[in-house]
Amino acid sequence: MSALSIAFILFAMINFLVGTTLGMLMALHPAWWGTMGDVHAVVNRFGWLTMMIYGMTYAVLATSAGLRPPRAWPGWLQLAVAEAGVILQIIGVLGDGLGLWRAGVVLQAVAPTLFLYNILSAVRAGRRARAAGENPLMPSARVAYLARAEHWTATDRIGQRGTDLALMLWILAAWWMAVNALRHPVMGEPPYIAVLVDDGWLVGTVLAVAMHLHGRLMGCRVPPAAYRAVQFLWFLGLVLAVAGRAPDAHRPWGQIAGDKILGAAILGMALTVLVTTMLGRSDTLPAAPRRLAGRMGWLLGWAFAAVLGIALLAGADPLQLPARHLLFLGWITLLVYGVAHSVFPDLLAVGEPCVGCAVTQVGCAAGGALLMVLAFTMQLHGGDTAGLFAAGGLLSWLAFTWFVGFWLPRLLRRPQRLIIPEGER
């Protein structure tokens, strides 16, 4: 990994350590929700998941395609802007400082714009290098399964379209959020922007990245038509869900239909992943080494995705806390754990954790997410949830604390060179 990608992942882990600690404290003391709930949401969406996406994108671009920005400083500027945006929003929420919160929101819009510039710069630099006849940068044998290959050409094309579209939606949502923040004297974001961020940027990116990684991690083929159908349903559902929540829409059917179509897309992708994995691994495909904790995190994450899809099809509101915790704590966070346990040993060129420890960590994360979702669901119906909140928050915190404790020191080590010129191979 490059120093830039490691720095993004490092800050993502630190942010989530803060976020999951807040979550545990709020689970133990529900009265703190009024003060800390907004901070928890900012840290998890923008400090944890968005920063992790930035870092893993830089790492995968370099590893799979040999692409790096020609100049380092725009990437470091993006890191500083993104983290400053999170910090200013937190300070603004805690201190009731509207100006600081607005500044943080604006910086959150600048960060993905810089991200787009850096990616386009890397692509242009790669094209110029190839046109000049220079040897391309290629992954070493240790991470060769992440590289481009004929086996994945069709599905990679669909995944690339999805990541491009998700990033454009994130830039649109971030600037829309910034303009809305500057125009209105109230902190927070309207529902249509929240859906655009959660189901456009985060869900869209996860679906697209999964299209790149599923075959490489599990060693199985997926018909491209299945991915195309998922991507079409996701975008159609998103448009309807956002339009149906617009202030002047007056079309509740759009919101209802959009949520259900989004649910169908998520459920369809989850079933595609789970079924093709169960059908078996092909020995003719280059794939990641079999690592039990990585496979477990990946499959459990998609099991939570299937539950989320079913819930949306049944009429659940994606902005209510049960659905949000299915999305963030159950689906996406478990996928991050699964991918990390699968590829970090190769990307960082370090040893793996003991199988029992890693499996226990993933199991605690899944158990914590399940208990939190159950607690929020029961809370909607007036049930007694104090014990569930406490147990779920503690398990989630323990799982991430172990994850950080193991991988953070290894991220800080000087990595071996995993990208080498073709002529040196």
Band (pLDDT 50/70/90 cuts) for residue 248 is confident
Centroid of chain to Cα 162:
14
- pLDDT tens-place string over residues 333-362: 999 999 999 988 888 888 889 999 999 999
Per-residue pLDDT, 221: 85
Residue at token pair 């020995």? 283
**CATH class assigned to 150-285:** mainly alpha
Out of 27-31, 75-79, 406-410, least confident range: 27-31
Q: Alpha-carbon distance 311 to 149, whole Å?
A: 37
Length of the chain: 425
Per-residue pLDDT, 419: 45
pLDDT mean over 67-74: 82
CA distances (Å), origin 206, targets 21, 33, 39, 99, 422:
24, 28, 23, 32, 31
Band (pLDDT 50/70/90 cuts) for residue 423 is very low
Closest CA to 390 of 371, 363, 367: 371
Q: What percent of the chain has pLDDT over 90?
A: 54
Per-residue pLDDT, 422: 43
Count of other CB atoms within 10 angstroms of residue 410: 16
Closest CA to 24 of 264, 329, 281: 329
Band (pLDDT 50/70/90 cuts) for residue 202 is very high
Per-residue pLDDT, 134: 61
Per-residue pLDDT, 414: 55
Relative orientation angle of helices 333-347 and 292-313, to the nearest 10 degrees: 150
Band (pLDDT 50/70/90 cuts) for residue 51 is very high
pLDDT mean over 318-347: 92
CA distances (Å), origin 331, targets 160, 277, 323, 324:
21, 17, 10, 10
Band (pLDDT 50/70/90 cuts) for residue 65 is low
Does the pLDDT value for residue 182 go beyond 80? yes
Does the pLDDT value for residue 131 go beyond 90? no
Count of other CB atoms within 10 angstroms of residue 422: 11
Q: Do 330 and 370 meet the contact criterion of CB atoms below 8 Å apart?
A: yes
pLDDT mean over 104-117: 94
Out of 1-5, 266-270, 402-406, least confident range: 1-5
pLDDT mean over 387-395: 89
Q: Alpha-carbon distance 308 to 255, whole Å?
A: 17
DSSP string spanning 277-308? HHT---TTS------HHHHHHHHHHHHHHHHH
Does the pLDDT value for residue 421 go beyond 50? no
Per-residue pLDDT, 100: 93
Does the pLDDT value for residue 42 go beyond 70? yes
Sequence-distant (6+) residues with CB within 8 A of 203 are: 234, 262, 266, 327
Does the pLDDT value for residue 141 go beyond 90? no
Band (pLDDT 50/70/90 cuts) for residue 425 is very low
Per-residue pLDDT, 137: 54
Q: Alpha-carbon distance 306 to 312, whole Å?
A: 10
Q: What is the dihedral sign for C-alpha 182, 44, 298, 115?
A: positive
- pLDDT tens-place string over residues 371-386: 999 999 988 887 777 7
Does the pLDDT value for residue 72 go beyond 70? yes
Per-residue pLDDT, 389: 86
Domain ranges for the chain = 150-285
Per-residue pLDDT, 420: 42
Q: Alpha-carbon distance 237 to 175, whole Å?
A: 22
Does the pLDDT value for residue 99 go beyond 70? yes
**Beta-bridge mates of residue 383:** none
- Average pLDDT of the chain, as a whole number: 87
Q: Alpha-carbon distance 410 to 345, whole Å?
A: 9
Q: Do 176 and 380 meet the contact criterion of CB atoms below 8 Å apart?
A: no
Q: Alpha-carbon distance 135 to 129, whole Å?
A: 8
- pLDDT tens-place string over residues 250-304: 667 889 999 999 999 999 999 999 999 888 777 777 777 889 999 999 999 999 9
Does the pLDDT value for residue 417 go beyond 60? no
